């Protein structure tokens, strides 16, 4: 039974589309941004916070969750929804990206990745089958296949080998599925157009519930990434969701939606929040900077999030200066709200048939603020 | 205009009393526990959280707030209520305890304390007048006089000198007040009964809005502290609130209420929360301990706080093991709720005229759990 996915509108001026993905734990209205909750928690926030800020779906990570708390706990408590108290949809990444990105001992073979765990210092195997078994225990609504990432600057031989192994692993993942949890494949091929075409063609011949673009934002420049996204999105079936993994800034999202992408995840809004940087309607704001110390202005006058309704810039500045964790919590709420509100605006624009002009006006405004900030020396992140 | 304070019931079996203190920002039903928000934030929690857990009043600290964000900011934003978004009563400690307890350069003279600030490495003066000026800028509902603390094991000469200076500083504080913010004096005298009697007699001859017992929980043993509390509380006027500063555990609070104390503050519930320890109806629970890893039980089956309604012990254990800040946030909510619920139970028992038996039954239960925990080797904090 494929995951129900209904496209309700396509923008006349672009390939942007408005759709609904229906999971066992509720609907995801797309385009959608998924808050990253790597260890079964979006850092510092409760499920009540997530609902209040418009979050529809939370992303967990198989690599981290298999090490801690481990599959046995998930089997015991009946999955991640019970465990973290989140009743909405959950997508789990497979661990492929962590195998690629995390430091430390690791050996990659056709069987899978053997690595030394940071938790118990023991050697663990993460194979396509193990990843699916773990995601089955987690009980996510959408599972991802284990894929092989390479740096975008790798040569064609390396990139092809990773892509071909990703394909074989995708089939092993499909064969290992024993539940009706959805399963998405991941298109690889680096920034080499022929490989991306080959990967999309190969994978879409198999009955996956959706298709992701992986291996981007790993050393590639933004124009390259946009070219690959445009090219690949067009090759993916119109009746399945398209997920651009690990990307990115608000402009990245606006561009990718133009290309027909439906789903996103990125640590940027939460990571920058913990560093004291906010996304606002007038550009990025670094709360630790001096001029905020005496500002009784709201963080973002155009924002209706709980943080902007209650906290001044001076208070947020104070909290960061004192290393008080409430500062990062309040900025996380704001930044995620900012991303979710951007997606809600995009959905409305697609429904109204005005997405292309909405995107270009919004991109222009962001660009204007960033230029003006750079002139004032206000942005460094 | 003295702070309105109405005693509505006195327990027939003890000196416990039920009263209402009316401030410009609302009423405080006593006995009351005040959550400690040293730097204009109860670590990790929002005012919405505080209201939800039954907090009536928040305590800020003059020493920390004068260094950061400083008086100018409070004047600019119109006080701590606007600054932190808390509309209920605020009490500010004077900085006396910090002069005593914080490490670093400091010189104490009749004028005040000169110390090198941890924020800007410069020498600052904290005098009775400076403390009142800062508390005026903060705009707290209840200010405290700057006092001189000494270790409870100090000799009689040292303890007397500190007490006498505390008295002179109390009068300077009273003279420095320029608003209708309430001002409490602080009884000193270490653990020497004659000095405590002298201090209470001296201070209560002046028009303070309330009286605190200071200089306890600074090297004294629990029986000594209880003796001093019993002795001093009896010497304080019945028509003014009595505040036991910096104390303590739930048994400490239950004992002090028996002696006629109305108000408390202590960092214990929040500090222990950040270390992973919870107060529960069946004793202290250290969430990091192994047996919690697979426990799908609630933290405290008898508790109705947001944490106990949603999170299992296994989830809390997981969050602490991963150093995820949500763990400390959820435990802070629970521990403060536990303290506030204990005070609410005490208020109800006083109203029902059964406080003495309520206190003895509750103390016995806590004692039983602690003994049983010790036997099992479960408590180390």
Nearest to A76 by CA among A137, A167, A158: A137
- Pairwise CA distance, residues A318 & B68, whole Å: 7
What tokens does B210 get? 């309330």
Which residues in chain B have Cβ-Cβ distances shorter than 8 Å to A312? 77, 82-83
Residue with tokens 């850092």: A43
- Beta strand B5-10 with A283-286: parallel, antiparallel or unpaired? unpaired
Q: Which two tokens stand for residue B309?
A: 């309604």
3-state secondary structure of A114: strand
Please state, rounded to an integer, the average pLDDT across all residues of chain B.
Answer: 95
**Which residue in A299, A381, A347 sits closest to A27, CA to CA?**
A347
Beta carbons of B86 and B139 less than 8 angstroms apart: no
The size of the A-B interface in CB pairs under 8 A is 114
Q: Is the dihedral of CA A219, A224, A229, A234 positive or negative?
A: negative
Nearest to B353 by CA among B9, B8, B6: B9
Q: Name the residue among B40, B45, B294 with its Cβ closest to that of A76.
A: B294
Q: Interface of chain B against chain A, CB under 8 Å?
A: 39-41, 43-48, 68-69, 72-73, 76-77, 82-85, 293-294, 296, 306, 310-312, 314-315, 317-319, 321-322, 324-326, 328-330
Residues A43, B310: C-beta atoms closer than 8 Å: no
Q: Which pLDDT score, from 0 to 100, does residue A335 have?
A: 98
Q: Is B274 helix (H, G, I), strand (E, B) or coil?
A: helix
Output the CA torsion B33→B38→B44→B49 (10° steps). 40
B5-266 topology per CATH: TIM Barrel (3.20.20)
The reported pLDDT for the residue numbered B2 is: 83
Instruction: Select from A41, A47, A311 the Cβ nearest to the Cβ of B319.
Output: A41
**Alpha carbon of residue A249 to chain centroid:** 11
Look at A43 and B324 and tell me if their CB atoms are within 8 Å. Answer: yes
Instruction: Give the pLDDT band of residue B372 (cuts 50, 70, 90).
Output: confident
Identify residues of A whose CB sits under 8 angstroms from chain B CBs: 39-41, 43-48, 68-69, 72-73, 76-77, 82-85, 293-294, 296, 306, 310-312, 314-315, 317-319, 321-322, 324-326, 328-330
- CB B30 within 8 Å of CB B18: yes
Give me the pLDDT at residue A374, please. 67
Residues of chain A with pLDDT under 70: 1, 374-381
Q: Residue B71 above 60 pLDDT?
A: yes
Q: Is the pLDDT confidence value at B380 over 60?
A: no
- The SS3 call for residue A24 is coil
A270: alpha, beta or left? (left if phi > 0; alpha if psi -120 to 50): alpha
Could A69 and B41 be called an inter-chain contact, meaning their C-beta atoms sit closer than 8 Å? no
Class of residue B72 by CB neighbours under 10 A (exposed 0-12, middle 13-18, buried 19+)? exposed
A12: enclosing H helix or E strand: none
Residue B15 neighbours by CB under 8 Å, 6+ apart: B233, B234, B258, B259, B260
- The pLDDT of residue A381 is 36
Give the rounded distance of the alpha carbon of A321 from its chain centre: 30
Q: Per the CB < 8 Å rule, is A315 touching B83?
A: yes
A chain contacts of residue B321, beta-carbon cutoff 8 Å: 68-69
Local confidence band at B105 (pLDDT 50, 70, 90 cut-offs): confident
Tokens found for residue B338: 């536990």
The domain locations on chain B are: 5-266, 273-375
pLDDT tens digit sequence for B339-356 = 999 999 999 999 999 999
Predicted structure pTM score = 0.96
pLDDT in tens, A42-65: 999 999 999 999 999 999 999 999
Calculate how close chain A gets to B272, using CA atoms only, in Å.
16
Looking at residue A218, its pLDDT comes to 83
The pLDDT of B156-170, averaged and rounded, is 98
In this complex, which of B41, B294, B306 lies closest to A319 when CB atoms are compared? B41
By annotation, the residues of B acting in catalysis are 93, 265
Q: What is the DSSP string of A275-331?
A: TTEEEETTEEEETTSGGGTT--SBS-TT--SHHHHH-BHHHHHHHHHTT-HHHHHHH
- pLDDT in the model for residue B52: 93
Chain A interface, best mutation among B41, B72, B305, B317, by max A CB count within 10 A: B41
Nearest to B326 among A44, A68, A82 (CB): A44
Q: Estimate the share of chain B in helix, then strand, then coil, as percent rounded to the nearest 5.
A: 45, 20, 35
Distance CA(B259)–CA(B255), nearest Å, equals 7
- B250-258 helix and B325-352 helix, angle to the nearest 10 degrees: 20
Nearest to A169 by CA among A183, A179, A156: A183
Task: Output the pLDDT for position A376.
Answer: 57
Which residues of chain A neighbour B328 with C-beta distances below 8 Å? 325
Predicted pLDDT of residue A104: 76
- Show which residues of A are catalytic: 93, 265
Q: How many residues does chain B have?
A: 381
Cis peptide before A25 (omega within 30 of 0): no
pLDDT in tens, B225-265: 999 999 999 999 999 999 999 999 999 999 999 999 999 99
CB spacing of B324 vs A39 below 8 angstroms: yes
In this prediction, residue B374 carries a pLDDT of 67
- Structure confidence at residue A375 (pLDDT): 62
Q: How far apart are CA B165 and CA A328, in angstroms?
A: 42
Q: Which of B324, B327, B331 to mutate to test the interface with A (most CBs of A within 10 A)?
A: B324
Nearest residue of A to residue B274, measured between CA atoms: A325
pLDDT of residue B376: 57
Smallest Cβ–Cβ distance between B310 and the set A85, A306, A330 belongs to: A85
Residue of A nearest to B68 (CA): A318
First to last CA, chain A: 44
């Amino acid at each position: 039974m494929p995951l129900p996915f209904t496209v309700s509108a396509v923008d006349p001026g672009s390939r942007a589309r408005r759709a609904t993905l229906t999971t066992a734990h509720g609907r995801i209205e797309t385009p959608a941004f998924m808050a990253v909750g790597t260890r079964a928690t979006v850092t510092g926030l409760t499920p009540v916070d997530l609902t209040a800020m418009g979050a529809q779906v939370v992303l967990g990570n198989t690599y981290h969750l298999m090490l801690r708390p481990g599959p046995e706990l998930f089997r015991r408590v009946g999955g991640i929804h019970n465990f973290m108290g989140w009743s909405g949809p959950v997508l789990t990444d497979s661990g492929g990206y962590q195998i690629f990105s995390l430091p430390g001992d690791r050996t990659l073979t056709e069987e899978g990745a053997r690595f030394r765990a940071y938790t118990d210092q023991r050697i663990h195997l993460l194979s396509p089958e193990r990843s699916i078994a773990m995601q089955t225990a987690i009980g996510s609504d959408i599972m991802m296949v284990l894929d092989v990432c390479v740096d975008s600057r790798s040569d064609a031989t390396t990139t092809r080998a990773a892509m071909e192994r990703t394909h074989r692993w995708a089939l092993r993942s499909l064969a290992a599925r024993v539940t009706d949890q959805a399963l998405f494949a991941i298109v690889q091929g680096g920034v080499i157009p022929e490989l991306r075409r080959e990967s999309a063609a190969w994978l879409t011949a198999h009955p996956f519930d959706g298709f992701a673009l992986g291996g981007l934002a790993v050393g590639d420049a933004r124009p390259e990434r946009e070219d690959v996204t445009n090219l690949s999105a067009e090759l993916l079936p119109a009746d399945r969701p398209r997920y651009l993994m690990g990307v990115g800034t608000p402009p990245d999202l606006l561009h990718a939606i133009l290309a027909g992408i439906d789903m996103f995840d990125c640590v940027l809004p939460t990571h920058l929040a913990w560093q004291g940087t906010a996304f606002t309607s007038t550009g990025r704001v670094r709360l630790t900077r001096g001029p905020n110390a005496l500002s009784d202005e709201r963080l973002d006058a155009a924002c209706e999030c709980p943080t902007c309704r209650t906290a001044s810039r001076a208070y947020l500045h104070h909290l960061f200066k004192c290393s008080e964790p409430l500062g990062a919590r309040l900025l996380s709420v704001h930044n995620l709200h900012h991303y979710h509100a951007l997606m809600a605006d995009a959905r409305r624009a697609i429904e109204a048939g005005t997405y292309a002009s909405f995107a270009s006006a919004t991109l222009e405004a962001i660009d204007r603020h960033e230029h003006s900030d750079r002139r004032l020396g206000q942005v460094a992140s």
